[in-house]
Amino acid sequence: MATKAQILTVDPDRWRHPPRPPILRQIGNTPLLKLEHVTAGLRPGVEVYAKAEWFNPGGSVKDRPALRMIEQAELRGELTPGKAIIDATSGNTGIGYALVGAAKGYRVVLVMPENVTSERKQLARAYGAELIFSDPLEGQDGAIRLVREMVAAHPERYYYPNQYDNDDNWKAHYYGTANEIWHQTRGRITHFVAAIGTSGTFMGISRRLRELNPNVRLITVEPADELQNIEGMKHMATAIVPKIYDPAQKDGEVLVHAEQAHDMARRLVREEGLFVGLSAGAAVHAALQVARRLDHGLVVTVLPDSGAKYVSLGIFD
């Protein structure tokens, strides 16, 4: 029998969505993989699992919110065929929009700092997205400011999902990723650890897990300071804070240096065969810190994207 929490979290709009193009039906339901080697030295009752989000068709966790934000805007009538989708993105959400836009027939305009890796730029362009570059010295926040100016100048041209303030960002994880983790661990998860950028992954998964088990511990991962550049992650104390981020939701946080994220990304590919990106390295570094303090427990983290997008940085050489 379904519990009260399970009944409450069925997506109320599930039956109103138009049929999805076939490739978009492949978003979600990613594997949950046990880490078997980097976990050496943990107590016998402690396990660490990771959600392999590069199995999504656009190659990252951000396919999920991109699809939900666009579908919900269609349902509300805010996104109509003549409009272009525009947003500020360090790359992965942009690739998600570009994928959904290509499959559904929308123009997609992406604003990003010029220093984003060339692989990401090429990927978004391959899907047909138009790229506009903001000042690299202003980071992600510079891209957000530029989008706001463009939309204010021509509101009739664009639909601006604004992933930082859009509840459908975290709801993609609340209705999707969190339930997958709950089923894949058979409800045994004790700790959830996630790197935060917009915070959508963390907020959506942790809200749902807390409903299913109030004792689950929820831990965020941030760069140790504003100089640690880990693509996709935000140092909240010095950044424009996303409206969807609620720090009261977390029980703890782990701060990671870029070098530690690089080291763990290298270990994951060589010791586990998991070719993942830098925020995944940061997330696993943090998950292991949490796991080392436990006598018993099942720690889950998220591997947001693959290492393929980072080869030009030379960190895997």
Among 28, 96, 101, 232, binds ligand PLP (CB under 6 A): 232
Residue 106 C-beta: closest distance to ligand PLP, Å: 20
Nearest residue (CB) to ligand PLP, 158 versus 202: 202
Report the residue closest to ligand PLP, judged by CB. 232
- Is 196 a residue that touches ligand PLP (CB under 6 A)? yes
The CA–CA distances, whole Å, from 103 to 51, 99, 283 equal: 25, 6, 31
- Is 140 a residue that touches ligand PLP (CB under 6 A)? no
Among 127, 304, 307, 315, binds ligand PLP (CB under 6 A): 304
Site for ligand PLP in 86-125 (CB under 6 A): 90, 92-93
Q: What is the DSSP string of the chain?
A: ---HHHHHTS-TTTTTSPPPPGGGGGSS---EEE--STTTTS-TEEEEEEEEGGGSTTSBTTHHHHHHHHHHHHHHT-S-TTPEEEEE-SSHHHHHHHHHHHHHT--EEEEEETTS-HHHHHHHHHTT-EEEEEPGGGHHHHHHHHHHHHHHH-TTTEE---TTT-HHHHHHIIIIIHHHHHHHTTT---EEEEE-SSSHHHHHHHHHHHHH-TT-EEEEEEESSTT---TT---GGGSPPPTT--GGG-SEEEEE-HHHHHHHHHHIIIII---B-HHHHHHHHHHHHHHHT-SEEEEEEEE-BBGGGGGGGTTT-
Nearest residue (CB) to ligand PLP, 282 versus 294: 282
Residue 6 C-beta: closest distance to ligand PLP, Å: 23
Among 176, 197, 297, 307, binds ligand PLP (CB under 6 A): 197
Nearest residue (CB) to ligand PLP, 202 versus 275: 202
- Is 162 a residue that touches ligand PLP (CB under 6 A)? no
- Is 199 a residue that touches ligand PLP (CB under 6 A)? yes
- Is 231 a residue that touches ligand PLP (CB under 6 A)? yes
Among 116, 195, 256, 264, binds ligand PLP (CB under 6 A): 195
Q: How far apart are CA 193 and CA 72, in angstroms?
A: 28
- Is 28 a residue that touches ligand PLP (CB under 6 A)? no
- Is 200 a residue that touches ligand PLP (CB under 6 A)? yes
Site for ligand PLP in 263-292 (CB under 6 A): 277, 279
- Is 184 a residue that touches ligand PLP (CB under 6 A)? no
- Is 305 a residue that touches ligand PLP (CB under 6 A)? yes
Contacts with ligand PLP by CB under 6 A: the residue count is 20
Closest CA to 195 of 60, 124, 76, 287: 287
- Is 217 a residue that touches ligand PLP (CB under 6 A)? no
Residue 179 C-beta: closest distance to ligand PLP, Å: 17
Tell me the torsion sign for CA atoms 132, 72, 100, 180: positive
Residues classed as catalytic: 62
- Is 198 a residue that touches ligand PLP (CB under 6 A)? yes
- How many residues does this entry show for the chain? 317
Sites of contact with ligand PLP (CB under 6 A): 60, 62, 90, 92-93, 195-202, 231-233, 277, 279, 304-305
